[in-house]
């Protein structure tokens, strides 16, 4: 089953950098290159959330939760555990599963939706009222989640796929067993997950839960450093 959790970055403390030792080196380096604090917070929070989810859901030791990348650049935990991250505005979200999974969240903003007509398949343009904000973001997040499930973004091969209103996915060149499911995040946001199995839970995780989880381990880490 697929599990989703999300968190708000405005709950994070000003000393969030003290949690960087729990992240992979490439993530820490990427965070260091970011110019906007909001981007740093989203990335750090998302990766901490994912690690905590794997420990609490699959009863793993934190030292076992070391993320690697597959051939498409997607993060994974070994060969049998998969996860995907997304963040927008004040929210980050993580989906974990035994199967490949993709997730997308978007803060809705007003824009000229007619400029995006070429992104949709002919069937999608007939199925959805894509000049309306809610419909646009519902399909956008569904297609993004499918692209992230497959390991690519919104490029031409993704545009060939049609997301139908029941979440099933039609691609003219291949059979797609995954489907997309929308889920509620917050007013003014759209969110969707693309999965092969069933969606078990969608949980709002408070930053305080993440902080408690890692603070205990940070103290243990520093205690070991002092005794060695």
Tokens of 93: 């979200």
SS3 140: helix
Domain range for 1: 1-101+198-228
Do 9 and 95 fall within a single domain? yes
Q: In angstroms, rounded to a whole number, what is the distance separating the alpha carbons of residues 77 and 65?
A: 7
- Same domain for 156 and 82, yes or no, is no
Pairwise CA distance, residues 204 & 117, whole Å: 34
Same domain, 119 and 80: no
The whole-number pLDDT of residue 223 equals 60
Q: Residue 19: helix, strand or coil by DSSP?
A: helix
- Orientation angle between helical segments 25-33 and 37-58, nearest 10 degrees: 160
Quote the number of domains for the chain: 2
- The CATH number of residue 22's host domain is 3.90.470.20
Helices (H), 103-227: 122-127, 133-150, 156-159, 207-227
- 157 and 62 in a single domain? The answer is no
pLDDT at 76: 80
Which residues of the chain, if any, have pLDDT below 50?
none
Tell me how far the alpha carbon of residue 193 is from its chain's centroid: 9
Residues 128 and 202 in one domain: no
Residue 95 sits in the same domain as residue 123? no
Cα(7)–Cα(143) distance, integer angstroms: 22
155 and 49 in one domain?
A: no
Q: What is the pLDDT of residue 228?
A: 53
Residues 3 and 94 in one domain: yes
Q: Cα–Cα distance between 46 and 49 in angstroms, integer?
A: 5
CB atoms within 10 A of CB 58: 14
Query: 209 Cβ partners below 8 Å, 6+ apart?
Result: 52
Do 37 and 10 lie in one domain? The reply is yes
Q: CA separation (Å) from 161 to 39, 97, 109, 121?
A: 30, 23, 25, 7
User: Bridge partners of 103?
Assistant: 193
Give the three-state DSSP class for 73: coil
DSSP code per residue over 177-210: --EEEE---STTEEEEEEESS-EEEEEE--HHHH
Q: What pLDDT was estimated at residue 153?
A: 60
N-terminal to C-terminal alpha carbon distance within the chain: 41
Residue 155 and residue 220 in one domain: no
């Amino acid at each position: 089953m697929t599990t989703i959790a999300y968190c708000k970055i405005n709950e994070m403390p000003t000393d969030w950098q003290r949690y960087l030792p729990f992240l992979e080196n490439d993530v820490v380096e990427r965070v260091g290159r970011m110019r906007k604090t909001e981007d740093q917070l989203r990335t750090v929070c998302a990766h901490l959330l994912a690690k905590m989810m794997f420990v609490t859901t699959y009863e793993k030791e934190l030292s076992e939760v070391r993320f690697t990348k597959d051939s498409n650049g997607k993060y994974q935990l070994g060969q049998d555990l998969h996860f995907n991250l997304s963040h927008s505005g004040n929210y980050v979200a993580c989906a974990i599963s035994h199967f490949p999974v993709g997730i997308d969240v978007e803060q809705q903003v007003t824009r000229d939706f007619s400029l995006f007509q070429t992104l949709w398949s002919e069937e999608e343009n007939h199925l959805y009222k894509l000049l309306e904000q809610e419909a646009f973001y519902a399909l956008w997040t569904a297609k993004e989640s499918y692209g992230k499930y497959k390991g690519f973004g919104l490029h031409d091969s993704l545009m060939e796929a049609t997301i139908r209103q029941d979440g099933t996915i039609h691609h003219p060149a291949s059979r797609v067993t995954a489907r997309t499911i929308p889920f509620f995040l917050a007013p003014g946001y759209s969110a969707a997950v693309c999965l092969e199995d069933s969606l078990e839970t969608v949980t709002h995780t408070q930053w305080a839960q993440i902080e408690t989880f890692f603070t205990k381990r940070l103290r243990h880490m520093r205690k070991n450093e002092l005794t060695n």
